[in-house]
Structure 1
Amino acid sequence: MKPLRIGIAGIAIESSTFSPHRSTVDDFVVTRDRELLARYDFLPADVEWVPLLHAKALPGGAVTEESYTELSEEIFTRLRDAGPLDGLFFDIHGAMSVEGRLDVEADLAERIREIIGPDVLVSASMDLHGNVSRRLARAVDLITCYRMAPHEDAWDTRERAVRNLVARLRDGGKPAKAWVQVPVLLPGEKTSTRIEPAKSIYARVPQVEALDGVLDAAIWVGYAWADEPRCQAAVVVTGDDRELIAAKAAELARAYWDARHDFAFVAPTGTLAECVSIAKASEARPFFISDSGDNPTAGGAGDTSWSLGELLRLDVNGIYAAIVDPETVATAVRAGIGATVTVEVGGKIDSGPCGPVPLTARVEAIDAEDPVAGTAVVLAVGELRVIVTARRKPYHHEADFTALGLKPREAEVVIVKIGYLEPELYEMAADWRLALTPGGVDQDLLRLGHRRIERPMFPFDPGMPAPDLTPELL
């Protein structure tokens, strides 16, 4: 008996259409062949895996059409050359935006389907901040997403997608899908599974999955910082008992809708000045502040300089991580450690909230071999240590700081371009505030100016009538 032949492909990025940053091929880590197979340590050995192409990038602005075409056309070419497949593992994020397109993951899935035909099973693994349009749900056979935010179960989800795909290829064939969108669009910082109501809502997902006749259940929060009709919450329950999966999809959708007024920020919030004032008065150390409006892991440009200007004005003693500015980095590297430089930092990509911030600083550290940032430098301005990077980089781990000689555990306050704190920083923080700052991923959705989302939509239309949450069987 021939082993199953299953292809692997995907393009994964989260893209803010409100950020002036543009993502190109250079922003993606592209893996093929053996390198792509090595990405997944859970692939069953008795399957012939066909590595096509996977491209993954740090969240950012919309992808250029040229870059998307280059990556997708290579997937299509490799698919045509791969020969017959039994299945395809479709590893995506679900919130990629491409200039000139409104539902690009559906575009990608439909083009793949044209090549492989209707009988090849496709299993998609997604981020819960992805979007599931009807087109995407119809183009794939199995579809699931993370159940935790922060995404501590990301690799568990991919493994589940593969496990379900292999199981259905061996016994069971195509399941039915009960799909329904929920007209709610909220930022991840209001829907973290660390707290209620998302904690309890997502706890119901594995309970549904465990029922006889159900293969998988998933709830998508959707992506709040793209202005596209598909952007909203969604539920898909997959299985063979059509009546049961429809009933359970409706229950999960209703639970999400009914809780819409209860979703709250995952941490106490305030203006940046208010958060700094609280941090200075507190004895908790280290005290973390999220600079949420320019979070690069949600799609922010990473160079919004408004917060840096505020921190200098407020005379902060601490660490600011980080702001991308290759020109400033190059100046600091030329000057060398210990030198004093006068530079204008940030505000060169996203200049909306604030243009470049002038400062005179001492070069305190240089790391020219950062695998993500390229080169990172520390500029000392009074008691504030500002990390400036050549490429966009999130600071999620203690080692990111210590590589530059910084000690976040000993700092008075650590300000990070982030939304909810990732697990390592969350455990480190003695206290924490979420600063509501401007940028391409502003937490105040109403002031961003969505125009293409479907209306009515909560919270844009708070008095909207109750929607029809009857699932469609696909």
Structure 2
Amino acid sequence: MRIAVGGFQHETNTFAPVKADFAAFERADAWPRLVVGEELWDEIDGVHIPIAGAACVFRCAGAEMVPLSWASATPSAHVTEDAYERITGLLLDELRAALPVDAVYLDLHGAMVCEHFQDGEGELLRRVREVVGPDMPIAISLDLHANVTPEMVEHSDLIDIYRNYPHTDMAETGARAARHLLTMLGTGKKPAKAFRQADFLIPLQWGCTFHDPAKTLYGKNLLQVLETGITSISFACGFPLADIHHCGPSVVAYAEDQGTADEAADAMIASVQAAEADFAGKIYQPDEAVRLGHNADDDRPLVVADSQDNPGGGGPGDTTGMLRALLAAGRQDSLIGVFTDPATADKAHEVGVGGIFDARIGGKLFPGDEPVEVEAKVISLGDGVFKGTGPMWGGANFQMGKMALLDCNGVHVAVMSNSMQAGDQSMFRHLGAEPSDYDLVIVKSSVHFRADFQPIARDVWVAAAPGPVYADPGALSFFNLRNGVATRPRA
């Protein structure tokens, strides 16, 4: 068996301020840089991503894997036309050169929006299908936040989607997709498929599978449908910050016959619709989170999500609302980060450990924001090169550029040069800051941080300082969303 293997990942927040150009995909962060051909295997080795899980399954099955290309960039606004066409062109060129192959596996996200296409993955799959023809099996893995489209379903033969948020099952999902592809090759048969869409958007924070309703939907409802003997079923919560026609939750089901696939998809989407009103929770204002966060009886930290500046959802990573609240309250037992601020990181390295300088932290990228001007003492410095240690990013090769930990009137502020959400404690430990030593830890993340931080926390709160990763998509103006879709869950 010769199986072509590749991927192209981007989660697009169309309300964010910064687009993803070609250089954004050339940079490594926690995930590998843009790679083409045989270099792919070294780059994904030991990294917890779907393509690594798929490769393990193919290797164990004795398949010959033909590497195409793989690329990802930190979530942001639209992928530029130049970046999309160049990266898609690389993948398709490698695919043409690889022919003949028996099947194709692609590691995609499912929420890529380009300057010239609303559905980046659907267009990519259409072009792949054009190259390989109608009969070749194509399997793909997608993120739980995929905005699955009819075109993605049409041009692939099987879609498998993460079941955990935080995404601690990325490699596992790639492995499932790979096993399904091998089954198609072994039997010579493709499954029937069914696709359904919900009629409301799920806010990012409340799709977390640590609590209901998502916990039950993925842990009980989905498994009950799987037990009926179908080939596969997946539920995507969707990415609600994309103003596109097919934004929103969806279900894809596969079975030996169309009737069984339709029944499975109908049953799962009914469970999703029935849970609509439960996708809600408490959102704190910055001053609330800081003021109410004390607890003298428990020495574990309160962990607060600076959810609207999550670089994992398209935030710039430099908004200042939560830092201003900390400084105003004089919280000298707090840690906040990680700010994407290469200028401040450079200045900290210039003055060195123990040095003091007039810092201008953050506030440079989000419209209406301004830097926080504060005297900063450099506590520690780092080169930004370290290994991830938590459940989601364990084994990841972080390359965050110059980093620094600053003391700003008693508030400890972590800054870095390359953008990445604060989802792994190693990002702070690289600078000598142990999160469990603080009373209050504020992380620029929405949900993924929970995998590594919730076990050490006395409680986890969600706060909403100004930023583009909007906690309430109902507050946004959508122009492309299909008719009848509610932009927030209805009671």
Name the TM-score class by shorter chain.
Answer: over 0.9
1:23 aligns with 20
1: distance between equivalents of 2:467 and 2:117?
A: 23
Q: 1:209 aligns with which of 226, 235, 249?
A: 226
Which deviations, in whole Å up to 9, do the C-alpha atoms of 1:358-381 show, x marking residues without a partner? 111111111024343211111111
Unaligned runs of 5+ in 1: 464-474
CA-CA distance at 1:384 after TM superposition = 0.3
DSSP 3-state at the match of 2:383: strand
**Percent identity (aligned):** 31
Q: 1:342 aligns with which of 334, 358, 382?
A: 358
Q: 1:302 aligns with which of 291, 309, 317?
A: 317
2:293 aligns with 279
Q: 2:328 aligns with which of 290, 293, 313?
A: 313
DSSP 3-state at the match of 2:242: coil
CA-CA distance at 1:137 after TM superposition = 0.8
DSSP 3-state at the match of 2:277: coil
2: distance between equivalents of 1:355 and 1:100?
A: 32
DSSP 3-state at the match of 1:327: helix
1:470 aligns with none
- Paired residue type of 1:297: G
- Paired residue type of 1:368: D
1:392 aligns with 419
1:290 aligns with 305
DSSP 3-state at the match of 2:69: strand
Scaled by the length of structure 2, the TM-score of the pair is: 0.89
DSSP 3-state at the match of 1:334: helix
Aligned partners of 2:201 and 2:489 also within 8 Å = no
Q: What RMSD in Å do the two structures reach over aligned CA positions?
A: 1.7
1: distance between equivalents of 2:85 and 2:297?
A: 53
Matched, 1:446 2:469: no
1:472 aligns with none
1:379 aligns with 406
Which deviations, in whole Å up to 9, do the C-alpha atoms of 1:297-332 show, x marking residues without a partner? 122111122222222222222111111111111111
Alpha carbons of structure 1 residues 359 and 100: separation in structure 2 relative to 1, 3 Å: farther
In the alignment of these two chains, the number of paired residues is: 456
2: distance between equivalents of 1:301 and 1:380?
A: 22
1:356 aligns with 371
2:152 aligns with 136
- Paired residue type of 1:279: G
Aligned partners of 1:187 and 1:224 also within 8 Å = yes
Unaligned runs of 5+ in 2: 26-32, 45-51, 386-397
CA-CA distance at 1:385 after TM superposition = 0.6
1:76 aligns with 92
CA-CA distance at 1:18 after TM superposition = 0.9
1:468 aligns with none
CA-CA distance at 1:34 after TM superposition = 3.3
Q: 1:11 aligns with which of 5, 8, 13?
A: 8
**After the TM superposition, which residues 149-164 of structure 1 pair with which residues of structure 2 at under 5 Å, given as runs?**
149-164=165-180
Matched, 1:435 2:433: no
**After the TM superposition, which residues 361-372 of structure 1 pair with which residues of structure 2 at under 5 Å, given as runs?**
361-370=376-385, 371-372=398-399
- Paired residue type of 1:361: A
1:181 aligns with 197
Aligned partners of 1:93 and 1:130 also within 8 Å = yes
**After the TM superposition, which residues 25-104 of structure 1 pair with which residues of structure 2 at under 5 Å, given as runs?**
25-28=22-25, 29-37=33-41, 39=44, 40=52, 41-43=56-58, 44-104=60-120
1: distance between equivalents of 2:180 and 2:365?
A: 43
Alpha carbons of structure 1 residues 355 and 449: separation in structure 2 relative to 1, 3 Å: farther
Q: Which moved more, 1:77-86 or 1:282-291?
A: 282-291
2:49 aligns with none
CA-CA distance at 1:79 after TM superposition = 1.2
Which deviations, in whole Å up to 9, do the C-alpha atoms of 1:219-261 show, x marking residues without a partner? 1111011111111111111011221110111111111111101
Q: Which moved more, 1:406-415 or 1:95-104?
A: 95-104
Aligned partners of 1:269 and 1:275 also within 8 Å = no
Which deviations, in whole Å up to 9, do the C-alpha atoms of 1:148-198 show, x marking residues without a partner? 111121111100000000111111421110111111211231121221222
DSSP 3-state at the match of 1:42: helix
1: distance between equivalents of 2:409 and 2:359?
A: 15
DSSP 3-state at the match of 2:231: strand
Matched, 1:255 2:271: yes
CA-CA distance at 1:398 after TM superposition = 2.5
Q: Which moved more, 1:360-369 or 1:288-297?
A: 360-369
Scaled by the length of structure 1, the TM-score of the pair is: 0.92
1: distance between equivalents of 2:296 and 2:129?
A: 57
Which deviations, in whole Å up to 9, do the C-alpha atoms of 1:389-424 show, x marking residues without a partner? 111122222322222111211101101011123311
CA-CA distance at 1:461 after TM superposition = 8.4
- Paired residue type of 1:277: R
2: distance between equivalents of 1:396 and 1:190?
A: 17
Alpha carbons of structure 1 residues 329 and 350: separation in structure 2 relative to 1, 3 Å: same
DSSP 3-state at the match of 2:292: helix
Matched, 1:403 2:437: no
CA-CA distance at 1:433 after TM superposition = 1.1
2: distance between equivalents of 1:319 and 1:224?
A: 29
Alpha carbons of structure 1 residues 204 and 288: separation in structure 2 relative to 1, 3 Å: same
2:439 aligns with 412
2:29 aligns with none
CA-CA distance at 1:129 after TM superposition = 0.4
1:457 aligns with 485
2: distance between equivalents of 1:269 and 1:109?
A: 38
Aligned partners of 1:372 and 1:392 also within 8 Å = no
Aligned partners of 1:305 and 1:323 also within 8 Å = no
DSSP 3-state at the match of 1:130: coil
**After the TM superposition, which residues 229-268 of structure 1 pair with which residues of structure 2 at under 5 Å, given as runs?**
229-265=245-281, 268=282
1:126 aligns with 142
2: distance between equivalents of 1:45 and 1:215?
A: 20
Which deviations, in whole Å up to 9, do the C-alpha atoms of 1:419-444 show, x marking residues without a partner? 12331111111222111222111102
CA-CA distance at 1:459 after TM superposition = 4.0
2: distance between equivalents of 1:384 and 1:158?
A: 41
1:471 aligns with none
Aligned partners of 2:276 and 2:490 also within 8 Å = no
